Amino acid sequence: MAAQELHPENWVDLYADYLFNYAVARVSDADLAKDLVQETFYAGLNSAKNFKGDAAERTWLISILKRKVIDHYRKINSKKGKAEVRINYSSDSDAEGDWLEQQVADPFSKDGDNIMENEELGLAIQDCISKLPQKQAVVFKMKTIQGMSTEDICNELDINPSNLWVMIHRARTALMGCLNDNWY
């Protein structure tokens, strides 16, 4: 099998949308995602001599983008003095079956009694997610919405499983509070 060759002149046309969608799903900020894609293309051009051709161009570019996303979160996490968001919750919120995913209807379900209510709830959930601290929102979306494995999330964001589950717990608790205040 012949080694793959790079064709940087085609990257924007062939891969920009895919890379952007990948990035925006992980950083939840369109402008930042665009910057990360640009940095990916620039890094790809600078390291083209290291491309061995063992992987497809897109796979190689995604691996560069993954490192860019990881670097972004490392930079955020290394800033000293960043205030930690503390969320108060009652002991009732730890009850079995009390988590957001178990209490709310699927906003895209056609089986709901009231499709409009489900759509409104879906918008309320999205609004509440947007109010979460950025990293909590990203972790919550990756785990709950995208269904990524704990290992993949931890590797991508360079965190350990304990940190992941603390962030998910805090996100769920905050989302329940937000929905209780703004929806129920």
Cα–Cα distances in angstroms (integers) from residue 153 to residues 45, 144, 162, in the given order: 27, 11, 12
pLDDT for residue 108 is more than 50: no
pLDDT for residue 83 is more than 90: no
Top-level class of domain 91-182: mainly alpha
More confident residue, 39 or 92: 39
Pick the CATH number of 8-78 from 1.20.5, 1.20.59, 1.10.3470, 1.10.1740: 1.10.1740
The predicted pLDDT at position 78 comes to 60
More confident residue, 55 or 80: 55
The predicted pLDDT at position 184 comes to 55
Banded pLDDT at 70 (limits 50, 70, 90)? confident
Alpha helices (runs of H) in the chain, residue ranges in sequence order? 11-27, 30-46, 57-78, 100-103, 115-130, 134-140, 150-157, 161-182
Q: What is the mean pLDDT of the chain?
A: 76
**Average pLDDT, integer, range 58-75:** 86
Which residues contact residue 138 at a Cβ distance below 8 angstroms, ignoring those fewer than 6 apart? Answer: 26, 27, 28, 157
Residue 80: how many other CB atoms lie within 10 Å: 4
- Give the percent of the chain with pLDDT over 70: 73
The predicted pLDDT at position 112 comes to 44
The 10s digit of each residue's pLDDT in 6-51 is 899 999 999 999 999 888 888 888 899 999 999 999 999 999 888 8
The predicted pLDDT at position 2 comes to 57
The 10s digit of each residue's pLDDT in 113-149 is 455 556 677 777 888 888 999 999 999 888 887 888 8
Question: In the chain, where are the structural domains located?
Answer: 8-78, 91-182
